[in-house]
Amino acid sequence: MSVINQTDVLLDLSYLLGESSIPTSGIDDRKAFIQRGLQRIVRLYDFDEMYALATVSLTLGGNAFYSGTLPADAAESPNLDVRVINPGTNDDYVFEKVPYEDQDKAVTGDYKYWLTGSANDYTMTTRDDVSNVVVRYLQTAPTINASISTTFPSSIVIARAALVYYRQAENPMADIAQDEALFKTELEEVIARQNRNRPVGRAKSIMELNDVYSGSVEAW
């Protein structure tokens, strides 16, 4: 796993600005732009490196609902994989997210969940009586410094994102098109590497995708 901290990105940003080393003072704005750049990257794409696993405990509350709080570092509108992991094959209870307004349609055994709250304070709720679920979730961008790192794998991409903000701060009327294009190009290279190295899933027919099979009878 990559370990990239603020110092790594500051050095890359200094090189992009034509400096041979990181200035010893007057760089608070650069640190802020690095953080904003990392946050922008996380908004643009769900990188595998930014996911984490957690066990969420669910407790019985009102209306026979079971609820638990997601980790505080779950990203805004997080993409979740929620499941109860069983020891056999093809027997996990995999939960499906439904809109809040559809909660009344969920019944016990459907393994549906919905989210309430906001970033840093999300609650997931279900009708299913389970005590714990394993959640794979997208993390928010960490507040990096010299000792706190990010799992995002490219310091130069973060530096280029910061450079766009830096140029705008220097001159709000500046043409940043070239800096923006270079940032997007290098970001796309990281995305391409991730997509290229992802495992290939088993192909599914349209019937399987819609949970309809030959001989099945729909109730109308």
How confident is the model over 81-121, as pLDDT tens digits? 999 999 988 899 999 999 999 988 888 999 999 999 988 89
Q: 57-66, 140-149, 205-214 — which is least confidently predicted?
A: 205-214
Q: What is residue 107's predicted lDDT score, i.e. its pLDDT? A: 87
Residue 219 is predicted with a pLDDT of 47
Decide: 68 and 54 in contact? Cβ < 8 Å: no
Question: What are the phi and psi torsion angles at 8 (to 5°)?
Answer: -60, -45
One domain for residues 26 and 52:
no
pLDDT at 32 over 90: yes
Over 60: is that where the pLDDT of 21 sits?
Answer: yes
Q: Are residues 39 and 53 in the same domain?
A: no
Q: Report, as an integer, the average pLDDT of 121-141.
A: 95
Within a domain: residue 40?
yes
pLDDT given at position 212 = 54
**Run of H or E residues at 196:** helix 177-197
**Tokens representing 98?**
């439904």
CA angle at 58 for the pair 54 and 64, rounded to the nearest 5°: 155
**Residues written for the chain:** 220
My answer on whether 10 and 30 are in the same domain is yes
- Residue 192 CB partners (closer than 8 Å, separation 6+): none
Say if residue 57 is in the same domain as residue 127: yes
If asked whether residues 130 and 119 sit together in one domain, one would say yes
φ, ψ (nearest 5 deg) of residue 19 = -100, 150
For 162-212, how does the pLDDT look when each residue is reduced to its tens digit (9 = 90+)?
A: 999 999 999 999 899 999 999 999 999 999 998 888 776 555 555 554 555
- Which H or E element spans position 28? helix 28-44
If one counts the domains in the chain, the total is 2
Residues 187, 106 within the same domain: no
Judgement on whether residues 36 and 100 belong to the same structural domain of the protein: no
Based on the fold, state whether residues 54 and 126 are members of the same structural domain. yes
Q: Which domain holds residue 98?
A: 48-140
CA neighbours within 13 Å on the CB side: how many for 157? 20
Does residue 210 lie within any of the structural domains? no
